[in-house]
Protein backbone atom coordinates (compact mmCIF):
# COMPACT_ATOMS: atom_id res chain seq x y z
CA UNK A 1 0.00 0.00 0.00
CA UNK A 2 2.84 2.41 0.87
CA UNK A 3 4.67 1.60 -2.38
CA UNK A 4 1.51 2.30 -4.38
CA UNK A 5 1.06 5.68 -2.67
CA UNK A 6 4.67 6.65 -3.42
CA UNK A 7 4.69 5.58 -7.06
CA UNK A 8 1.27 6.93 -8.07
CA UNK A 9 2.31 10.66 -7.96
CA UNK A 10 5.45 9.81 -9.90
CA UNK A 11 3.45 8.01 -12.58
CA UNK A 12 0.95 10.85 -12.71
CA UNK A 13 3.75 13.41 -13.08
CA UNK A 14 5.42 11.31 -15.80
CA UNK A 15 2.12 11.01 -17.66
CA UNK A 16 1.58 14.76 -17.42
CA UNK A 17 5.05 15.52 -18.80
CA UNK A 18 4.52 12.99 -21.59
CA UNK A 19 1.19 14.60 -22.44
CA UNK A 20 2.77 18.07 -22.53
CA UNK A 21 5.56 16.83 -24.79
CA UNK A 22 3.03 15.19 -27.07
CA UNK A 23 0.96 18.39 -27.25
CA UNK A 24 4.08 20.45 -27.93
CA UNK A 25 5.06 18.10 -30.75
CA UNK A 26 1.60 18.35 -32.30
CA UNK A 27 1.61 22.17 -32.08
CA UNK A 28 5.11 22.36 -33.60
CA UNK A 29 4.13 19.99 -36.40
CA UNK A 30 1.01 22.01 -37.20
CA UNK A 31 3.13 25.16 -37.16
CA UNK A 32 5.56 23.73 -39.71
CA UNK A 33 2.75 22.44 -41.95
CA UNK A 34 1.02 25.85 -41.83
CA UNK A 35 4.31 27.55 -42.65
CA UNK A 36 4.91 25.25 -45.60
CA UNK A 37 1.36 25.60 -46.92
CA UNK A 38 1.33 29.39 -46.71
CA UNK A 39 4.72 29.54 -48.41
CA UNK A 40 3.59 27.32 -51.30
CA UNK A 41 0.61 29.64 -51.82
CA UNK A 42 2.90 32.67 -51.74
CA UNK A 43 5.34 31.21 -54.27
CA UNK A 44 2.60 30.34 -56.74
CA UNK A 45 0.84 33.71 -56.52
CA UNK A 46 4.07 35.72 -56.41
CA UNK A 47 5.34 34.10 -59.61
CA UNK A 48 1.99 34.84 -61.30
CA UNK A 49 2.10 38.45 -60.10
CA UNK A 50 5.62 38.96 -61.44
CA UNK A 51 4.51 37.44 -64.74
CA UNK A 52 1.96 40.21 -65.35
CA UNK A 53 3.70 42.93 -63.30
CA UNK A 54 7.46 42.39 -63.81
CA UNK A 55 8.68 45.04 -61.38
CA UNK A 56 10.42 43.04 -58.66
CA UNK A 57 11.32 45.81 -56.23
CA UNK A 58 7.87 47.39 -56.44
CA UNK A 59 6.31 44.01 -55.66
CA UNK A 60 8.63 43.82 -52.65
CA UNK A 61 7.48 47.28 -51.51
CA UNK A 62 3.83 46.21 -51.67
CA UNK A 63 4.55 43.02 -49.70
CA UNK A 64 6.36 44.91 -46.95
CA UNK A 65 3.61 47.54 -46.88
CA UNK A 66 1.06 44.74 -46.38
CA UNK A 67 3.07 43.45 -43.40
CA UNK A 68 3.11 46.93 -41.86
CA UNK A 69 -0.66 47.42 -42.40
CA UNK A 70 -1.53 44.00 -40.95
CA UNK A 71 0.69 44.71 -37.95
CA UNK A 72 -0.87 48.13 -37.38
CA UNK A 73 -4.31 46.52 -37.50
CA UNK A 74 -3.13 44.04 -34.87
CA UNK A 75 -1.85 46.84 -32.63
CA UNK A 76 -5.05 48.87 -33.05
CA UNK A 77 -7.31 45.94 -32.16
CA UNK A 78 -5.10 44.62 -29.36
CA UNK A 79 -4.52 41.33 -31.15
CA UNK A 80 -0.78 42.12 -31.10
CA UNK A 81 0.80 43.85 -28.12
CA UNK A 82 2.25 47.27 -29.00
CA UNK A 83 6.05 47.05 -29.37
CA UNK A 84 7.02 50.36 -27.79
CA UNK A 85 7.82 49.07 -24.28
CA UNK A 86 10.04 46.33 -25.71
CA UNK A 87 12.35 48.64 -27.62
CA UNK A 88 14.73 50.13 -25.07
CA UNK A 89 17.67 52.36 -25.88
CA UNK A 90 19.56 51.68 -29.07
CA UNK A 91 16.73 49.60 -30.50
CA UNK A 92 16.91 51.16 -33.97
CA UNK A 93 20.63 50.39 -34.21
CA UNK A 94 19.97 46.79 -33.23
CA UNK A 95 17.10 46.63 -35.74
CA UNK A 96 19.15 48.15 -38.57
CA UNK A 97 21.10 45.04 -39.73
CA UNK A 98 18.00 42.83 -39.65
CA UNK A 99 16.04 45.39 -41.70
CA UNK A 100 18.83 45.80 -44.27
CA UNK A 101 19.05 42.02 -44.68
CA UNK A 102 15.26 41.82 -44.98
CA UNK A 103 15.06 44.60 -47.59
CA UNK A 104 17.84 43.12 -49.74
CA UNK A 105 16.69 39.53 -49.23
CA UNK A 106 13.09 40.15 -50.22
CA UNK A 107 13.98 42.35 -53.17
CA UNK A 108 16.54 39.87 -54.52
CA UNK A 109 14.04 37.03 -54.11
CA UNK A 110 11.60 38.88 -56.35
CA UNK A 111 14.41 39.49 -58.86
CA UNK A 112 15.27 35.77 -58.84
CA UNK A 113 11.63 34.76 -59.31
CA UNK A 114 11.22 37.21 -62.18
CA UNK A 115 14.13 35.85 -64.23
CA UNK A 116 14.26 32.15 -63.31
CA UNK A 117 11.93 29.37 -62.22
CA UNK A 118 10.54 29.03 -58.69
CA UNK A 119 12.11 25.59 -58.33
CA UNK A 120 15.57 26.81 -59.36
CA UNK A 121 15.39 29.73 -56.93
CA UNK A 122 14.52 27.37 -54.08
CA UNK A 123 17.25 24.93 -55.08
CA UNK A 124 19.78 27.71 -54.52
CA UNK A 125 18.01 28.75 -51.32
CA UNK A 126 18.43 25.28 -49.81
CA UNK A 127 21.98 26.42 -48.90
CA UNK A 128 20.53 28.65 -46.14
CA UNK A 129 21.55 26.30 -43.25
CA UNK A 130 25.16 26.59 -44.44
CA UNK A 131 25.10 30.39 -44.39
CA UNK A 132 23.21 30.39 -41.09
CA UNK A 133 25.83 28.14 -39.50
CA UNK A 134 28.66 30.30 -40.90
CA UNK A 135 26.97 33.50 -39.75
CA UNK A 136 26.39 32.12 -36.25
CA UNK A 137 30.06 31.20 -36.01
CA UNK A 138 31.27 34.62 -37.22
CA UNK A 139 28.89 36.61 -34.99
CA UNK A 140 28.65 34.53 -31.83
CA UNK A 141 31.48 32.01 -32.08
CA UNK A 142 28.98 29.13 -31.96
CA UNK A 143 30.44 26.01 -33.59
CA UNK A 144 28.23 23.23 -34.94
CA UNK A 145 28.98 19.66 -33.86
CA UNK A 146 30.85 17.67 -36.52
CA UNK A 147 27.84 15.44 -37.39
CA UNK A 148 25.74 18.53 -38.17
CA UNK A 149 28.55 20.01 -40.26
CA UNK A 150 28.78 16.78 -42.27
CA UNK A 151 25.03 16.87 -43.00
CA UNK A 152 25.50 20.27 -44.69
CA UNK A 153 27.94 18.88 -47.28
CA UNK A 154 25.29 16.94 -49.28
CA UNK A 155 23.23 20.13 -49.43
CA UNK A 156 26.07 22.01 -51.13
CA UNK A 157 26.78 19.12 -53.53
CA UNK A 158 23.10 18.74 -54.39
CA UNK A 159 22.76 22.44 -55.18
CA UNK A 160 25.87 22.33 -57.38
CA UNK A 161 24.53 19.36 -59.36
CA UNK A 162 21.02 20.78 -59.68
CA UNK A 163 22.36 24.16 -60.76
CA UNK A 164 24.61 22.59 -63.41
CA UNK A 165 21.65 20.80 -64.98
CA UNK A 166 19.13 23.63 -64.70
CA UNK A 167 17.65 24.57 -68.08
CA UNK A 168 16.44 27.97 -66.89
CA UNK A 169 19.85 28.94 -65.43
CA UNK A 170 20.81 32.59 -65.66
CA UNK A 171 23.63 34.27 -63.79
CA UNK A 172 21.32 37.07 -62.66
CA UNK A 173 18.80 34.57 -61.30
CA UNK A 174 21.50 32.52 -59.58
CA UNK A 175 23.27 35.50 -57.99
CA UNK A 176 19.97 37.07 -56.90
CA UNK A 177 18.84 33.80 -55.28
CA UNK A 178 22.22 33.31 -53.60
CA UNK A 179 22.34 36.91 -52.36
CA UNK A 180 18.80 36.60 -51.03
CA UNK A 181 19.71 33.39 -49.20
CA UNK A 182 22.73 34.97 -47.48
CA UNK A 183 20.66 38.04 -46.54
CA UNK A 184 17.83 36.00 -45.05
CA UNK A 185 20.32 33.93 -43.06
CA UNK A 186 21.66 37.18 -41.59
CA UNK A 187 18.15 38.42 -40.94
CA UNK A 188 17.35 35.25 -38.99
CA UNK A 189 20.40 35.70 -36.76
CA UNK A 190 19.77 39.40 -36.10
CA UNK A 191 16.03 38.86 -35.55
CA UNK A 192 16.72 36.13 -32.99
CA UNK A 193 18.87 38.62 -31.08
CA UNK A 194 16.03 41.16 -31.07
CA UNK A 195 13.68 38.55 -29.61
CA UNK A 196 16.09 38.10 -26.71
CA UNK A 197 15.63 41.74 -25.72
CA UNK A 198 18.06 44.31 -24.31
CA UNK A 199 19.20 44.92 -20.70
CA UNK A 200 16.81 47.88 -20.35
CA UNK A 201 13.85 46.34 -22.17
CA UNK A 202 11.83 43.14 -22.08
CA UNK A 203 12.11 40.64 -24.96
CA UNK A 204 10.13 41.63 -28.05
CA UNK A 205 7.48 39.25 -29.38
CA UNK A 206 8.17 37.48 -32.71
CA UNK A 207 5.33 39.31 -34.48
CA UNK A 208 6.61 42.68 -33.31
CA UNK A 209 10.18 41.90 -34.39
CA UNK A 210 8.71 40.98 -37.79
CA UNK A 211 6.64 44.17 -37.89
CA UNK A 212 9.40 46.59 -36.92
CA UNK A 213 11.91 44.83 -39.14
CA UNK A 214 9.49 45.13 -42.08
CA UNK A 215 8.74 48.79 -41.36
CA UNK A 216 12.40 49.77 -41.55
CA UNK A 217 12.99 47.45 -44.52
CA UNK A 218 10.13 49.21 -46.32
CA UNK A 219 11.95 52.52 -45.92
CA UNK A 220 15.03 51.00 -47.58
CA UNK A 221 13.10 49.29 -50.39
CA UNK A 222 11.05 52.25 -51.62
CA UNK A 223 14.11 54.16 -53.01
CA UNK A 224 15.31 50.95 -54.72
CA UNK A 225 11.91 50.55 -56.38
CA UNK A 226 11.87 54.15 -57.56
CA UNK A 227 15.40 53.88 -58.91
CA UNK A 228 15.21 50.46 -60.58
CA UNK A 229 11.53 50.07 -61.47
CA UNK A 230 10.46 53.69 -61.91
CA UNK A 231 11.91 54.27 -65.40
CA UNK A 232 10.50 51.01 -66.84
CA UNK A 233 7.05 51.59 -65.31
CA UNK A 234 6.87 54.91 -67.16
CA UNK A 235 7.33 53.21 -70.55
CA UNK A 236 4.29 53.12 -72.82
CA UNK A 237 4.32 49.31 -72.99
CA UNK A 238 4.32 49.01 -69.19
CA UNK A 239 1.46 51.46 -68.80
CA UNK A 240 -0.55 49.68 -71.49
CA UNK A 241 -0.01 46.30 -69.81
CA UNK A 242 -1.01 47.74 -66.43
CA UNK A 243 -4.19 49.23 -67.86
CA UNK A 244 -5.13 45.99 -69.64
CA UNK A 245 -4.59 43.75 -66.58
CA UNK A 246 -5.41 46.15 -63.77
CA UNK A 247 -7.92 43.99 -61.87
CA UNK A 248 -5.80 40.84 -62.20
CA UNK A 249 -2.65 42.67 -61.04
CA UNK A 250 -4.42 44.17 -58.02
CA UNK A 251 -5.83 40.76 -57.05
CA UNK A 252 -2.50 38.94 -57.40
CA UNK A 253 -0.52 41.61 -55.56
CA UNK A 254 -3.05 41.66 -52.70
CA UNK A 255 -2.95 37.87 -52.29
CA UNK A 256 0.85 37.92 -52.63
CA UNK A 257 1.13 40.49 -49.83
CA UNK A 258 -1.26 38.67 -47.48
CA UNK A 259 0.37 35.28 -48.04
CA UNK A 260 3.78 36.91 -47.52
CA UNK A 261 2.63 38.23 -44.16
CA UNK A 262 1.09 34.89 -43.17
CA UNK A 263 4.03 32.62 -43.91
CA UNK A 264 6.59 34.98 -42.38
CA UNK A 265 4.48 35.50 -39.24
CA UNK A 266 4.41 31.74 -38.72
CA UNK A 267 8.15 31.52 -39.48
CA UNK A 268 8.95 34.14 -36.83
CA UNK A 269 6.80 32.33 -34.27
CA UNK A 270 8.81 29.18 -34.95
CA UNK A 271 12.13 31.08 -34.88
CA UNK A 272 11.33 32.16 -31.32
CA UNK A 273 11.15 28.50 -30.27
CA UNK A 274 14.19 27.17 -32.17
CA UNK A 275 17.86 28.00 -32.58
CA UNK A 276 18.72 29.70 -35.88
CA UNK A 277 20.34 26.66 -37.53
CA UNK A 278 17.43 24.35 -36.62
CA UNK A 279 15.06 26.96 -38.04
CA UNK A 280 17.13 27.09 -41.24
CA UNK A 281 16.95 23.29 -41.54
CA UNK A 282 13.17 23.59 -41.18
CA UNK A 283 13.33 26.21 -43.92
CA UNK A 284 15.19 23.66 -46.04
CA UNK A 285 12.29 21.25 -45.61
CA UNK A 286 9.93 24.01 -46.74
CA UNK A 287 11.92 24.52 -49.92
CA UNK A 288 11.90 20.80 -50.71
CA UNK A 289 8.13 20.95 -50.13
CA UNK A 290 7.85 23.86 -52.61
CA UNK A 291 10.09 22.24 -55.24
CA UNK A 292 8.16 18.99 -54.99
DSSP letter for each residue of 27-85: HHHHHHHHHHHHHHHHHHHHHHHHHHS--HHHHHHHHHHHHHHHHHHHHHHTSS--SGG
Question: pLDDT of 73-122, one tens digit each?
Answer: 999 998 988 888 778 778 888 899 999 999 998 889 888 888 877 777 77
Whole-model pTM above 0.85? no
Per-residue pLDDT, 270: 79
Q: What phi and psi, each to the nearest 5 degrees, are found at residue 269?
A: -60, -40
DSSP letter for each residue of 217-277: HHHHHHHHHHHHTHHHHTSHHHHHHHHHTHHHHHHHHHHHHHHHHHHHHHHHHHHTTS-HH
Residue 198's DSSP bridge partners are: 201
Per-residue pLDDT, 70: 95
Calpha distance 263→67 (Å, rounded): 11
Burial 205-236 (b: 16+ CB within 10 A, else e): bbbbbbbbbbbbbbebbbebbeeebeeebeee
Whether residue 157 is predicted with pLDDT greater than 90 in this model: the reply is no
Residue 201's DSSP bridge partners are: 198
Question: pLDDT of 245-255, one tens digit each?
Answer: 889 999 999 99
Kindly give the interhelix angle for 246-271 and 206-228, rounded to the nearest 10 degrees: 140
Amino acid sequence: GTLLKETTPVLAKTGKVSSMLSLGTVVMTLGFLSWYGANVAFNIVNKQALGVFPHAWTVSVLQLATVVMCSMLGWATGAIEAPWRSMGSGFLWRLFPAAVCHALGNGLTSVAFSCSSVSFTHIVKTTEPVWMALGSYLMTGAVLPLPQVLTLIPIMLGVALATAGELSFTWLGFLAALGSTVCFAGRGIFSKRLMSGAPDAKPMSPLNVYAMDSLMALGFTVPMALLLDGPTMLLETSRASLAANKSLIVHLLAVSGLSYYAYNAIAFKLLAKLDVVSHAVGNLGKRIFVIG
